[in-house]
Structure 1
Amino acid sequence: MSQVATDLAGKHCTIFSADAPACVLIQPTGTHELAGLAEEAAQIQQHAPCDVSLVSFPVTDWNRELSPWSTRQAFGSEPFGGNAGETLRWILEELLPALALPKTMPCVLGGYSLAGLFSLWATYQTNAFQAVAACSPSVWFDDWDTYIAAHEPKTSYVYLSLGNKEHKTRNPLLRTGKARILAQAERLTQCGVNTTLEWNSGNHFQDNAARTAKGFLWCAEQLAGQEKPYA
């Protein structure tokens, strides 16, 4: 992959591009994740079953831009801002057209932590993404369990992961993570979505780039395994 930083639809994006990509991976990225992007892209390039491009766009206000609705924070007093709808609109109406992808090019949306929850939420909003990688998603988010019980996903493939120590905390919200991710996987399967749940060793703050790469790789493998993968 070649790496280039470029302005797309008003945001300064980082693109790791293959010469002839068979699918494109879209990732909301916080400033705390930028240092691991090259490592993540290298792992994807090494192990992907087909050529892919990774498009990372910046998220400057993590709690506002990626949260599906306003609610309390897990830490601190500032609540989540609930502006995920505007972020998704920007991806669909501005970023994807700016990328000028072929109509048959499949898109995968994915991310880590709150970006993972945002990606999961997007599966209930649009069928624009053929697969979603929700890596250690913030499924402890208030009312998320109620939301998924009342809505149908629109994505064919969903990758879920969680660290096996993430729920071992005194924080009452974060303690629900294990039960919530199991319920999420079960609900997706019930709805006919090809779903996998991978347990990683450790807590939430370990190997973020490698865990995200694994999620994107699983999605690429599912798409490449279809009889007519990109038609």
Structure 2
Amino acid sequence: MITNNNKEKFNIKDKKITLYKSPDINAPFIVFNTFEDDGEDVYQALKNMGCTFLNLLVVGNIDWNHDMSPWYMPSIYSKEKSFSGGADEYLRLLIDDILPKAKEMIDGEPEFTGITGYSLAGLFAVYAMYKTYVFDRLASMSGSLWFHDFMEYCKSNDCMKLPDKIYFSLGDKEANTRNPILKTVEDNTRELSEYFKNLGSEVIFELNPGNHFTDTILRSAKGIKAIL
């Protein structure tokens, strides 16, 4: 384990984990799943926005198409791996091993716990609410809500804990694609926002300028800030 002032790094299984600790007691605890880096850019963006009252746990080195996908789905591009449905397995690792170790390192009991992510990790954040009581809030930035049968799953199952606050965002050009699957992303995100609103969650939906790959760091930080 590497310690550096408010930053702790440790590994569990093959996951590379970084905890940015709040100097405050009982600060909210936010999980951010990311493809490979340690989230330093997102944490700095949050600091620039004046958000320091949080413990940010960044989990990296994720097997993206496996760990973040709820079930099998063929690849949407010919040269990419299929989605192999490892979300339940990864969620168990997160809940049973990663979170307990990280929570030993922070001061006090978190005011609330949130789960956040971009793209497939945004899809995973929504899925996690159906599988565990651990999280109180969620932020899904450019979430892959085009995923096969996901909307049906959300509407035909109950969250284990209905989030009290939810943030959804999307780029305003994300649905402008010839791919018939990806094309559904804006309609689905808007529909899910309304669905959770009707269930009683406080929901923010935000449309950002650009496509899926525009300002990912800033969008991620904005989403985390919105649920604090």
TM-score, length-normalised on structure 2?
Answer: 0.88
- Residue 4 of structure 1: how far off its partner (Å): 3.5
> Which residue identity lines up with residue 85 of structure 1 in the other structure?
D
Distance, in Å, in 1 between the alignment partners of 2:17 and 2:150 is 29
Question: For the aligned residues, what is the CA RMSD?
Answer: 1.9
Name the one with the larger helix percent: 1
Distance, in Å, in 2 between the alignment partners of 1:50 and 1:5 is 18
Q: Secondary structure at the match of 2:210?
A: coil
> Which residue identity lines up with residue 210 of structure 2 in the other structure?
G
- Residue 189 of structure 1: how far off its partner (Å): 0.9
| Residue number in structure 2 paired with 1:127 | 133
Residue 28 of structure 2 corresponds to residue 23 of structure 1: yes
* Count of aligned pairs: 217
- Residue 148 of structure 1: how far off its partner (Å): 1.4
**Mapping of residues 107-186 of structure 1, within 5 Å:** 107-153=113-159, 154=161, 155-186=163-194
Whether the 8 Å contact between 1:28 and 1:59 is mirrored in structure 2 is no
**Mapping of residues 18-57 of structure 1, within 5 Å:** 18-20=22-24, 22-31=27-36, 34=37, 37-48=39-50, 51-57=53-59
User: Unpaired segments of 5 or more residues in structure 2?
Assistant: none
User: Unpaired segments of 5 or more residues in structure 1?
Assistant: 221-231
> Which residue identity lines up with residue 169 of structure 1 in the other structure?
T
TM-score, length-normalised on structure 1?
Answer: 0.87
Identity of aligned residues (%): 29
Which of the numbers 78, 96, 110 marks the counterpart of 1:93? Answer: 96
Tell me which stretches of 4 or more aligned residues in structure 1 moved more than 6 Å. none
For residues 63-107 of structure 1, the C-alpha deviation after alignment (integer angstroms, 9 at most, x for no partner) is 001100111222226321101001111111111111225445421
